[in-house]
Each structure stands twice: as structure tokens, then as C-alpha cells.
Amino acid sequence: MQAYIKAIEPVNVDWTKNVCLKIFFAGCDFKCPFCNTPHLLETREEFLIDLRDVKKEIDLNSGFAEAVIFTGGEPCLQRPQLIELAKQCREKKIKIGIETNGSKPEVLHSLLKENLLDFIALDIKTPFNEELFERLTKSRTFFITTNQVIQNLKATIELLIENKDKLEIEIRTTIIPSLLYRKEDILEIANIVNQLNARWVFQKFDNMAELASKNLQSINPPSLSFLEDIKEACIKQYPQLRIEIK
């Protein structure tokens, strides 16, 4: 079996004490203009790799890597490859993490059913508001309606609520002036995160990064005091939230 995988790299993450191996799947079903991995959005032939080579790489690193994190792009778009690699990690007693946009609840369900997931980092990019969702993900250009995409994301969140005691969960939201910055919108997301036993990371929009849309490069990043204000407003309403600014 082959997979579209752009890179395999050792990284340090907050989730584990020791080094992890990140496997970067190519291809994504979202088209977020603020995406800072635009080189991973397409499945190009040059990214095709034999899964046996990826498994060898996991084997080689199994002595020191505490975990493997599947990321992208969107790793859930390559379901059989993802599941096969996750099974190999379980056999080698390596922890399994995934970074996902939440669009494929059925794939996450399969991983959870087979006990193939220890950590999930889920992007909640906007509240469940179709207009905002379309602006932040370009979902109007997708094969399915924005409403269907939102229903899938809701199903993913339900799945995480059901499994919140078994999983380490991190929710990520990028705060972007003029796109996602209004207190009322972020409070709506806070209401969702409050149902999960999760760490919530406010990612500071970085206009110096390589972005999918060059137009966004003219937007300044939010100030730290602005982010602190929003954090305070969320904690005032939902005191149990664990929020970090990055």
C-alpha cells in the first residue's frame, strides 16, 4: 500500500516528555486561508511513498520516540494507511496522537474503537456559524455543503465528549484580527470546549509565516493583551477552562 506522506520528522511537543515522531500526511479537505502548511494541501505524486518504508522508519525510531503523531494536511483522509500505521505503533508500544480538523468522525471512531488513539489535537476554527465557517475554511468550494461539514465536526466533538476520560485532548483556535477575533464568537467556542476535559490553545495568528492566502499577510497579529482579555472573558464565564496562549 502507498500513502501520500510528505515528511517524517522527530519533534518535541508538550504532550510527551520525550521526543516524538511526526508523520506529515499530504492532502487536506479544508482550504483555510491562514493555513501555515500550504505545501501540504495537495496530494502530489512526488509525495507517494510505500507504507513499508514508513513502517521501517517507525521501527528505527521505536527505541527513542515516545509517541507518533499523525498530522498534515489532514491525516484522516487516508484511512487505511493511518489505521495500519497506528496498529504498528500499538504493537511497538508507542503512544499514538493525531492532529486533525475533525471532518472525518468515522475515521476517529475506527481509531477509538480499536484503541488506537491516546492524544488528539482538534482545530475548532470557528463557532458553528455557517458564514464564519465559510470565511475561515473556504467551505463554499467543497463537494459537500457547509452545513454537512459542520455536522461532521459536531459528530467529532460528540465522540470526544464520550471518550474524554480515555484521551488527552487539545483544542486549537487561531485568533485572527478581522476574521476570528470577536469575544462573542470565541465565547461560543468556549461553550463547546467547556464540555471536554481539554487544554485549549489560543494560537496567535502569525502574518510572517508562509500562509495559504497572501492577502492575509497584511493583517497584523493580535496583541498579547488582546488575547489575555479574551482568555479572561472565557474563564470568567467558564472557570474550569484551561487556556494557553501560544
Give the interface with ligand SF4 as residue ranges (CB under 6 A). 28, 30-32, 35, 37, 41, 72-74, 101, 123
Q: Nearest Cα to 96, choosing from 79, 71, 73, 72? A: 71
How many residues appear in the chain? 246
Residue 89 or 149: the one with the smaller Cβ distance to ligand SF4 is: 149
Q: Contact, 142 vs 151, CB < 8 A?
A: no
CB of 1 to ligand SF4, least distance (A): 23
18 sits in the region (left: phi over 0; alpha: psi -120 to 50; else beta) called beta
Ranked by CB distance to ligand SF4, the top (closest) residue is 35
CA–CA separation, 5 and 24 (whole Å): 6
Residue 57 or 123: the one with the smaller Cβ distance to ligand SF4 is: 123
CB of 104 to ligand SF4, least distance (A): 11
Q: Contact, 235 vs 186, CB < 8 A?
A: no
Residue 38 or 233: the one with the smaller Cβ distance to ligand SF4 is: 38
CB of 35 to ligand SF4, least distance (A): 3
Residue 74 or 170: the one with the smaller Cβ distance to ligand SF4 is: 74
CB of 160 to ligand SF4, least distance (A): 17
| Three cell numbers, residue 171 | 483544542
Residue 209 or 233: the one with the smaller Cβ distance to ligand SF4 is: 209
Q: Contact, 173 vs 200, CB < 8 A?
A: yes
CB of 71 to ligand SF4, least distance (A): 8
CA–CA separation, 198 and 168 (whole Å): 7
What phi, psi does 131 have (nearest 5°)? -65, -45
